[in-house]
């Protein structure tokens, strides 16, 4: 049950943040500079919490490298593309399209991790894609 609560909280945060990004990117802030501010603030808060909670920072090299690679993909490349999309488009269209990441996660987890992939999951993905098409068409662009 706690995992569901955390997932809902994550969804709320990820659903709210694009509006703040759009407001911040309306002016002169370049998406690369926005990444600096975004990641610096996230890093600073995470570091403070780590220190306050007395957590360790020495972990196996391979695990750290995999997490860092994921950070480059999501925290830099993914956010760069997202910031560019938000700066140029409507949040109500861009955010749902960007929210299709679970489709890729499910497919890659099936291929690389051997996680189960059923017809029901495939149908769910199809519904998500249909929803994105409808949202994109509704923008008139």
Grouped pLDDT means (10 residues each) for the chain, 141 residues: 85 89 93 95 95 93 94 93 92 84 86 89 86 78 57
> Which residue in 137, 136, 31 sits closest to 81, CA to CA?
31
pTM beyond 0.85:
no
Q: How far apart are the first and last CA of the chain?
A: 40
pLDDT at 140: 64
Helices 119-138, 91-98: crossing angle, 10 deg rounding? 160
Distance of alpha carbon 117 from alpha carbon 104, whole angstroms: 12
Closest-CA residue to 7 (of 115, 74, 99, 131): 99
């Amino acid at each position: 049950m706690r995992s569901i609560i955390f997932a809902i909280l994550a969804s709320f945060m990820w659903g709210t943040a694009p509006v703040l990004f759009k407001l911040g990117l309306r002016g002169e802030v370049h998406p690369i500079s926005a990444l600096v501010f975004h990641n610096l603030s996230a890093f600073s808060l995470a570091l403070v919490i780590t220190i306050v909670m007395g957590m360790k920072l020495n972990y196996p090299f391979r695990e750290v490298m995999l997490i860092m690679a994921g950070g480059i993909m999501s925290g830099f490349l993914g956010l760069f593309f997202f910031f560019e999309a938000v700066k140029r488009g409507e949040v109500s269209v861009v955010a749902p399209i960007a929210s299709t990441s679970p489709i890729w996660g499910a497919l890659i987890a099936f291929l690389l991790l051997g996680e189960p992939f059923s017809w029901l999951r495939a149908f769910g993905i199809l519904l998500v894609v249909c929803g994105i098409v409808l949202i994109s068409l509704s923008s008139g662009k």
